[in-house]
Amino acid sequence: MKSDRIDFAHESERQYARLLDFYQIEWEYEPRSFDIEWDEQGEVVKQFTPDFYLPQFETYIEVTTMNQKLVTKKNKKVRRLRELYPDCKIKIFYQRDYLALLQKYGLDRDGDDR
């Protein structure tokens, strides 16, 4: 599987990729970084790199398993990306979505099937 050949930043990303592989959905891992903030000289000071791109759906996916109360910063980056790149489709896959995925497909948090 493609998901077994990539060094993911987080296990939740690997599990999401395994699910995409299972359903034969084409995906790319962190294929692009978007400039979202510049200093007074016009130099890029902040970028945002979504975790996945799904070419079939022309959509970027950001997987976050942080506690919902701590996702404010990530939501702000996604909001900024949407402002600057209005034609770019992006979805956030939150902790509650991730936990529902684990339960529905019988996965554990370490990435092994039960």
Give the pLDDT confidence of 39-51 residue by residue, as tens digits.
999 999 999 999 9
Range of the domain at 94: 2-105
Q: Is residue 56 part of a domain?
A: yes
Reference 92, options 84, 102, 82; nearest CA is 82
pTM beyond 0.85: the answer is no
Structurally, the chain folds into a number of domains equal to 1
- CATH of residue 28's domain is 3.40.960
* Domain-located, residue 112: no
| Spans in the chain with pLDDT lower than 70 | 1, 67-70, 107-114
- Strands of the chain (E only): list them: 28-29, 34-38, 44-48, 52-54, 59-63, 89-93
In a domain, 40, yes or no: yes
* Domain assignment of residue 8, yes or no: yes
